[in-house]
Amino acid sequence: MSNHTTSRASARAQSTSWRGSAPILAASVLWGSTGTAASLAPAGTSAAAIGSAGLALGGSLLYLTGRVHRRTVDRLRPNGSERWLLILGACAVAGYPVTFYPAVARTGVAVATVLALGSAPVFAGLLSWVTGRGRPAPRWCAATALAVIGCALLVLGPQLATATTRIDVLGVLLALCGGLTYAVYSLIGSTLITRGHASNTVMGTMFGLAAVLVLPVVLTAHPAWLLSPRGAAVALHLALFTTFLAYRLFGYGLRHTSVDTATTLTLAEPAVAALLGVTVVGERLPALSWTGFLILAAALALLTRPAKRAAANPREEDADRRGSR
């Protein structure tokens, strides 16, 4: 193969890698603002209600825009098995706020975040393997292990430094369930997008159904907080930025990268949250947390570095053409 052909293949591989990595990392930046925004909600507001309110409104927006996209672009119709996948994905989406936020209440933000986000890529890799999508690559395993370690040191650093970590068994199980639900709906979304469905349609349908499922959580948790200026601003931020825009980006990223890689990349979220805590809230991080930040950054750099390929993958090019319709 000529040097010119090799350089073209390398450039194509790098372009494809960043077409998947960049939007997912951008989504992680938006997700990283969730904690800071939720902390500004009126005092006494249920954490599950805050997350569910953002999902209810943001999911509805995803559904409406997905419907428009479906009429104009996506001519495919889901078959019977795909409809069940969409329903299962919607249940998983709705399951995240009702497991993760109670885990936060029982174990604290740090422990719940590490368990949920750290377990999600592990669950995604195992589910991909079990469902026949292939064994995780060695580089992914190494990068994920480093990313989980870095995430743990970053988030738990302040508590480890003062030996105040509080462990609650039920809270741990709820956080792990949150990681599992995230992996499940990510895998389902990736599966349907790979089959040719537009990412906007897939994410819009799953999140639209999930918005209906979590609506009772919002309505039964004294929704008067949504009528206050602060409560409305928090709900709108969660809906527009951390749900609608973030999952539009995440869905696009799933079109160009594997689900196990995507879930590992989202470990950038706690790094963004930590930096926002330092710059906006005025928090101080110990040296252990900064060490974890560097380890996490190195792991993500390893994961986003495109693998060397001798030639472009025809199937991948065909999928890109279908996805860009």
Tens of pLDDT, residues 265-283: 888 887 777 777 677 666 6
Instruction: Using alpha carbons, select from 233, 235, 214, 195 the residue that is nearest to residue 322.
Output: 195
Look at residue 319 in the predicted model and tell me its pLDDT: 46
Comparing C-alpha atoms, which of 198, 223, 171 is closest to residue 56?
Answer: 223
Buried b (16+ CB within 10 A) or exposed e, 95-126: bbbbbbbbbbbbbbbbbbbbbbbbbbbbbbbe
Whole-model pTM: value is 0.79
Highest mean pLDDT among 77-86, 87-96, 163-172: 87-96
User: For residue 13, is pLDDT > 50?
Assistant: no
Task: Read off the pLDDT of residues 143-193 as tens digits, 9 standing for 90 and up.
Answer: 889 988 988 888 777 766 665 555 678 888 998 999 999 999 999 999 998
Residue 195 has pLDDT above 90, yes or no: no
Query: 69: which residues sit within 8 A by CB, 6+ positions away?
Result: 198, 200, 201, 204
Residues 111, 314: Cα–Cα separation, whole Å: 43
Highest average pLDDT, of 62-76, 99-113, 128-142, comes from 128-142
Eight-state DSSP code of residue 310: S
Of 176, 184, 188, the C-alpha closest to 119 is: 176
Exposure class string for 254-269: b at 16+ Cβ within 10 A, else e = bbbbbbbbbbbbbbbb
Residue type, 204: G
**High-pLDDT (> 70) share of the chain, %:** 80
Per-residue model confidence as pLDDT tens digits over 54-81: 999 999 999 988 877 555 555 556 677 8
Domain boundaries, the chain: 21-305
The pLDDT of 305-322, averaged and rounded, is 48
Lowest mean pLDDT among 2-16, 45-59, 84-98, 173-187: 2-16
